[in-house]
Amino acid sequence: MKDGILVINCGSSSLKFAVLSHAGQHILVEGIADKLGSNLSSITFKCDGEKKQIILDDGSHKNAITQIKLWLDSHPNIHDSLIGVGHRVVHGGETFSKSVLINQKVVDGIEECAKFAPLHNPAHLKGIEIASELFPGLPQVAVFDTAFHQTLTPEQYLYPIPMGLYRDHHFRKYGFHGTSYRYISKQLATISKGSHQQGVLVAHLGNGASICAINQGESSDTSMGITPLEGLMMGTRSGSLDPSLLSFISQAEDISAQAALDILNKKSGLLGISELSNDCRTLEEAMTSGDERAKLALEMFAARTAKYLASAATTLENIDHIVFTGGIGENSSYLRQAVCNRLKAFNISIDSELNESAPRGENLNIKAQTCTTNVWVIPTNEELMIALDTINLIQH
């Protein structure tokens, strides 16, 4: 049966891809093209447990997708199984509240939203254009990171600034990681029947990090904003702070507002505080060897995550489930414990043995016996969600 979906996540300097089959359950090939736009770019293919890297003489997005096409041409069983292409798109603004089949109107809509995601959306558009050129017969679908949060009420999504700025420019909270939250909500409903009628808090903790409150299956609050900078402390992003800092930094350092913003996006967060790394694993190792700054960075990360979870709970009737996901949420027992330690006022507690022995890649409830809130570790799978949306849209 033909059921292969090529999933493309085309970023400004990297491009991740995978071909999924059997309703997204099998990965036939996956890989990443790195350092695009430079003369150090390469593309890696992982298939049947083997890894193959090709150095790219031409580091353009077009060449990266051409290499994927050439690889598929030399693996005709995979190539011929393809029925569609699913693209991850970061910003869908208020235009897109669900995934859509791509046509010219959708391309125009994604272009319109590029003002809020100037690095991401233009890269996605490039990916869409090149993929439609190289895979001419295949329908293409766009899956938006923002779409899941279009259920937020104005009370949650508006910033308390003059209304004209929202009316004229659509300045509001959009939220991101929506494809991950939708997957988690769906997955939770299969392992805990009835969760679709309940209150769920999800912490997607990775290099980018956010939280989401899901009330009866719909996003009711989330921490990221008009861009992914708002909310939690992240790998290199500061998360929320007093906006006056922007002008203080730019004056004190004699740099433009854009350069000051770059500091908040690229040099802050875990990296900024630890002055060592944005990578949680590296910081945990450093902390174990006595690095106080690494410890402070991790404690701040936990404190802010707990604070945002508590604040998002105001949009729920009850905290029935808390879910940890993302590279850090799935793998760092230290940070899961550190976050839950700060939620004692909500009667949240976890079983430290279960937490520490949670097997990688599996769903597990780590709540303490006495705790009435379920505390889950659930691995996210955005590629699967993109493949499923693509299948649904091309079959209807």
How many angstroms separate the CA atoms of 210 and 239, rounded? 9
Query: 31 or 84: whose CB is closer to ligand AMP?
Result: 31
Residues 226-265, one symbol each (x = binds ligand AMP by CB under 6 A, - = not), give: ---------x------------------------------
Tokens of 15: 């491009």
Q: How many residues bind ligand AMP (CB under 6 A)?
A: 12
Instruction: State the residue number with the nearest CB to ligand AMP.
Output: 327
134 CB-near residues (< 8 Å, 6+ apart): 65, 66, 69
**Beta pairing, strands 42-47 & 26-34:** antiparallel
Asked whether 219 and 181 are in contact (CB, 8 A), the reply is yes
How many Cβ atoms sit within 10 Å of the Cβ of residue 286? Answer: 20
C-alpha distance from residue 51 to each of 9, 33, 98 (Å) = 19, 13, 35
Binder to ligand AMP among 145, 284, 320, 389 (CB under 6 A)? 284
101: which 2 tokens? 């089949």
Shortest gap between Cβ of 207 and ligand AMP (angstroms)? Answer: 4
Cβ-based nearer residue to ligand AMP, 135 or 148: 148
Alpha helices in 80-217 (DSSP H): 104-112, 120-134, 154-157, 163-169, 178-191
Question: Residue 206 annotated as binding?
Answer: yes
To the question of whether residue 327 is assigned a binding role by annotation, the answer is yes
One residue of 12, 207, 352, 363 binding ligand AMP per CB under 6 A: 207
Are the CB atoms for 144 and 89 separated by under 8 Å?
yes
Q: Which lies closer to ligand AMP via its Cβ, residue 157 or residue 324?
A: 324
Q: For residue 379, report the phi and psi dihedrals to the nearest 5 degrees.
A: -65, 135
Report if residue 280 touches ligand AMP, rule: CB under 6 A. yes
State yes or no: residue 185 binds ligand AMP (CB under 6 A): no
Tell me if 327 contacts ligand AMP by CB under 6 A. yes
Write out the binding residues for substrate: 88
Interaction site with ligand AMP (CB under 6 A)? 206-207, 235, 279-281, 284, 326-328, 331-332
Write out the binding residues: 9, 16, 88, 204-208, 279-281, 327-331, 382
